[in-house]
């Protein structure tokens, strides 16, 4: 139809009509392109919005896990501090019951059960450029950095725990020894936890004292990094709420 009108206008040398039809054709093409582009952008934004909602759900679950982990680490740190005090004051013939109880929980490394799949997916989306320079992008980056710091600290503690495993200098405090220390099922009355450990020798062992001090420092640092991650998670949730209010 338009082509026929343009052909007829050329034959009659109606150049104004030719230009008008040409402008109409170009405008129609541009309008169709803009509508298609707008539709694509809306679809991309919808995908981002869905992913951000998944991130909100993920971080809320993580926040509960982090706060529970902080409570566990506070107890573990208290146990290690008391173990060091008790050990430094230990004398021959002293009751080792409390030392055995403390040792059972001292050399533990609660691994944080936090998820970051939704964060991973949002970070690799082609359309995440729309988040560039936003508070949400900054908080996502900060959360990732603190989370990796938590994992690195957990690995450090794992390596320190390995020093107390079987075949090591302090294998009487190994994980296997801890398992063996639990009372066997079927006992009518509870039996105190007991390690086959020479506490007097350990109390005078400078190497063990240094090891315990390093372990305590790392455990304190793990508690501190979990606290930082708690703050980073709350900041990330606040950024999500700011961008996408519920």
With CA atoms as reference, report the closest residue to 173 among 150, 217, 205, 219. Answer: 205
The C-alpha torsion from 70 through 76 and 79 to 81, rounded to 10°, is: -70
Question: What's residue 147's pLDDT?
Answer: 97
With CA atoms as reference, report the closest residue to 123 among 59, 229, 43, 52. Answer: 52
Question: What's residue 161's pLDDT?
Answer: 77
Question: What's residue 77's pLDDT?
Answer: 92
Residue with tokens 């690799």: 124
Question: What's residue 186's pLDDT?
Answer: 47
Question: What's residue 13's pLDDT?
Answer: 52
With CA atoms as reference, report the closest residue to 245 among 44, 46, 49. Answer: 49
Question: What's residue 234's pLDDT?
Answer: 97
Question: What's residue 18's pLDDT?
Answer: 47
Using one digit for the tens of pLDDT, what is the confidence trace for 11-34? 555 555 546 555 665 665 566 556
**Alpha carbon 194 to chain centroid, angstroms:** 36
Low-confidence ranges of the chain (pLDDT < 50): 2, 6, 9-10, 18, 185-188
Please tell me the pTM assigned to this model.
Answer: 0.75
Residue with tokens 């902080």: 70
Question: What's residue 152's pLDDT?
Answer: 94
């Amino acid at each position: 139809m338009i082509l026929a009108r343009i052909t007829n206008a050329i034959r009659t040398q109606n150049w104004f009509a030719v230009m008008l039809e040409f402008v109409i054709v170009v405008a129609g093409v541009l309008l169709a392109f803009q509508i298609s582009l707008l539709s694509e952008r809306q679809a991309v934004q919808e995908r981002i919005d869905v992913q951000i909602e998944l991130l909100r759900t993920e971080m809320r679950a993580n926040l509960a896990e982090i706060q529970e982990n902080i409570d566990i680490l506070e107890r573990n740190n208290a146990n290690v501090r008391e173990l060091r005090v008790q050990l430094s004051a230990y004398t021959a013939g002293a009751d080792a019951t409390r030392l055995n109880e403390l040792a059972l929980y001292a050399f533990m490394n609660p691994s944080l059960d936090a998820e970051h799949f939704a964060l991973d997916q949002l970070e690799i989306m082609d359309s995440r450029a729309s988040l560039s320079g936003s508070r949400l992008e900054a908080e996502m980056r900060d959360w990732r950095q603190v989370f990796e710091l938590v994992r690195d600290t957990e690995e450090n503690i794992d390596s320190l725990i390995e020093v107390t495993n079987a075949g090591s200098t302090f294998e009487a405090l190994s994980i296997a020894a801890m398992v063996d220390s639990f009372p066997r099922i079927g006992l009518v009355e509870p039996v105190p936890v007991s390690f086959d450990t020479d506490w007097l020798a350990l109390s005078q062992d400078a190497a063990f004292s240094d090891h315990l001090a390093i372990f305590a420092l790392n455990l304190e640092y793990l508690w501190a990094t979990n606290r930082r991650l708690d703050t980073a998670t709350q900041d990330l949730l606040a950024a999500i709420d700011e961008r996408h209010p519920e």
